[in-house]
Amino acid sequence: MAARSKESRDAGFSLIELVIAVSILVMMTGVLSPALIRYIERGRERRDAQNVEMVYSAAGGALYDESAYDALKSGLAKNGVYSAPFAVSALFLQEDAYADAVRDFIPTAPVLVSAEAMGADHDYEIMLCIRELVDEQTGIRTVVIGAWAGDASHCAGRDYACGVLPEGVTTDDGYSLRDQTEEDVGTIIDRN
């Protein structure tokens, strides 16, 4: 019987061995978790920046359709639907040729997922500002587009902006309209 009890003790792990193994796993999890969380957040931030770029490209690309441009022009009129910065989600509720043309490029409204990474206590939206500038000497109309993540008066940062931000929109990283270059202007549509 004494031989039998010695065999049963050698058959498994002791409590000390299990505690050591579990503590090693806990330490490894503690070391690796922050890196994994940062990696996931960077992926979310990149996806949000790509969503802003996609909306910016769709807003510019839609202008090549004549009926979309005409709908946009009437919406840019005083107090028109496109006369002030607006959330892209509102564009998906709009029923006109311009909104239809944008929806041809992006069938569903993109959603921002990295509000925490941007340091926000609330969710940001993708905002658009479309302005039509008319050269008084030549009569050439220029449509300037800006897209950013934030709200009507705030942009989350340079990485979350495309095109030309309107006056009065501030950013967390100090980027402003004064800092924009020709490269930032991107797609500008000239019409006579």
At position 18, the amino acid (one-letter code) is L
Pairwise pLDDT comparison (173 vs 48), residue with the higher score: 48
Pairwise pLDDT comparison (149 vs 117), residue with the higher score: 149
pLDDT at 55 over 70: yes
pLDDT of residue 191: 47
Query: Domains of the chain: which residue ranges?
Result: 11-191
Mean pLDDT of the chain: 77
From CA 98, how far away is CA 161, in angstroms rounded? 22
Whole-model pTM? 0.71
Record the tokens describing residue 155, joined without a space: 């942009």
Which of 82-96, 98-112, 127-141, 169-183 shows the lowest per-residue confidence on average (mean pLDDT)?
A: 169-183
pLDDT of residue 90: 84
Q: DSSP state, 160?
A: G
From CA 17, how far away is CA 27, in angstroms rounded? 16
Q: Is 45 exposed, middle or buried (0-12, 13-18, 19+ CB in 10 A)?
A: buried
The predicted-structure confidence for 166-179, as pLDDT tens digits, reads as follows 777 777 666 555 44
From CA 38, how far away is CA 153, in angstroms rounded? 28
